[in-house]
Structure 1
Amino acid sequence: MLRIACAQIFLLMGVFYVSGAVAQTFYVATDGNDASGDGSAGSPWASIGGALAELHDANIDGATVLVRPGTYSGRQSLVGTFAQGVTVRSEVPYQAQLRHSSQTVVAYVNCRGASGITLEGFDLAHSGPGAAPLVFHIDGGGGNAGVGNITVRNNVIHESYNNDLLKVNNGVTNVIVEQNMFYNQTGSDEHIDVNSVEDVTIRDNVFFNDFAGSGRTNGNNTSAYIVIKDSNDEDDLFLGTDRVNVQRNVFLNWEGSTGSNFVLVGEDAKPYIEARNVMFENNLMLGNSSNVMRAAVGVKSGEQITFRNNTIAGDLPALAFAMRVNVENSAVTNDQIHFYNNLWSDPTGTMGASLGGGNDFSDSPPGEVTNWSLVNNQYYNGGAPIPAGAGETINYTDDATRIVGDPGLASQAGLTVPRWEPGSGMFADGSATIREAFVSLVMQYGVPTAGSAGVNQASAVQAPADDILGNLRGGAPDVGAVEIVANHVGDFDGDGDVDGQDFLVWQRDPNGGQLSDWQADYGMGAGLQTRTGSPVPEPAGGVIVGGLLLVVGRSRRVKPFASQ
């Protein structure tokens, strides 16, 4: 196999690293055969499960399985144990469609285990109405059964016609869910159900619903986009989900029930704490929909739950604009619930108004939360007073270091929901990749003006090191999810970072900037990867990768620079 040595090049559609090391590549295709195929380009396998089983049994580790475009019907199983890790990737992003009338992709207990597997670049959905529950299911079988260390990356996961889009439960450990797009679950269920597990990270994803766009009826009855809980008592190794990070995600276009939230901790009224050590940071929540929700975030059964540097913005009709912190079983009390450096902004002056009720900032009944903090957050209600309630445990007036002022966020009128449109090979907002849609939402709706009262006003000790786009915050960080940074002259594509994609833009139009500016700024700004100390690529490396892009037929629409 031809391998080309070059520098790291970071692309919006993913991260490609080409080195002198030879890694084996195998193939799956709709015309392949699991029995007679050998996984070669000329004799591919027919299924993901078949490919992984062959690699496991042959002790082949560190390989890549490329799945060719087409529709793959039936269940795809993640099987095999791989210490170095195996990546199963759609050869052309989002063009391999996985469909089934039941669980479309599963990682279940089996004789080979299911560990060290990355699933990347697919279009996953139920095949249609009447499906059995769940689109994607990772089940630990009670724990210690070899299911874990799984990464779900850069997939469009949508159209559950029964229950959740993704369920991670029953003793699973070490799961990363990153750079995906989720939309349209069914009934009183979620996009992601994190249930009796440990060490889960959910980052850099886009969550929304758009039932009409899929020709479906919105019943306004779906639940949270993410729920973190433990509903099975002591049936597995864990009593309570532990150590979950929800970071750098975008949530928008609520079409669910009036009793649900974008994110919820605890749900099932169990007589024990359902989740502990949960961090929500650098998330952007957009209230662009007219559908009423309970509150942006909810905690019903949690301990050591921290919300920091999130931005919740827009009209967001809700029974409480910011939060609901309550219990549904008197045997538990929420404890150590903290809110630092968050930005809550309703430019309409109707913060928390819905269903004929008045404005409401929080719902937090007395006696249902202890040891809580509300510190250094920014509040704006279109110039109207921030609502406070005498009967609530948590009020904005409890924030002794509060900041009240207009962040100057852009209007959400005309927001285009970026659903995947396979016929055009693009997303509805014109983006070519999930990452591009993500960055576009942040740049359009999450960036405060330089005159915002929250600029340089966050508590540094409680702020994360970077922001929603990967910009370093420094010693005087900003309130909210986005850190306002100086424009980088080498950012030729205007997405807030300086990486390999900017070189490709310059390569197409050298008159649009100076190559020396790109080299000087390389590695700065937004992005999913830490670039500190990364070598500046030589132009020849960029030309090579440009050629590779032409081979795979991917191109990116160039947008004008979005100034901050």
Structure 2
Amino acid sequence: EGGADLYGLKAGQSISDPYFSSVVSGAPAGAIAAIYNQNIGSNNDNYLDQNSLFFLNLSGTTLTNPEWGLTIDSDGSFTAPLLTRGFAENPLFGGDGADTLTSLAPGAVYATIIPNFTGGFKINASASGVGVTNQVIPNNGDGTIIYLVGLPGDFDIDFNVDGADFLAWQRGFGTVYDAGDLADWQTNLGAADAVATGSAVPEGSTLLLAGLGLTLLLACRGRLEYRRSC
């Protein structure tokens, strides 16, 4: 029940877990989600030559169509939906295939494992129309955080800041939002944004994947897809 079949939602765990405190406290204004890479998993699980990779909903809104994909070149178009059920989907364990995760609840934590790869990876990720492309996860990039950043103050993620966002802030105040988020709403009230961006916060050096000329796909049974071409 290990290897590529370890993926899915972390039952009973949310971004309020102290394990994710650095991700939450370091989030820039407008961050709706984060990709977090760690050598030691959130339950102190440690797999040889593998890292734990998390997709976290930092917002107070359900994120739709969460996707990601790893490459070792710069193919910014490659993503695949998140899947659930992990090893339980394997027919050897009586499963009938993985399920596609079409949404990620507020504060939810999705996890998988990825191999340590010399030279590192680049990741593409998106949710609710907000995405990042070609963000670097270095080899053994323990602690690397990549944020999916929308429009500050757009708490319902509809790409404009209006009265509905104030209501969303009220609902999430004290859990995912604070007074600083209200200030973002006040500053950006009336704004609209058609393009969402991302930012990366690596610990240690960030390595650019130059001259590799191929994209890596390890057949990981859907937990997080990779691609190789020769």
The two structures have a TM-score, normalised by structure 2, of 0.27
Larger relative contact order (Cα-Cα within 8 Å, sequence gap ≥ 6): 2
- Higher helix share goes to which structure? 2
TM-score between both structures, scaled by the size of structure 1: 0.14
Looking at CA atoms only, which structure, 1 or 2, has the larger radius of gyration? 1
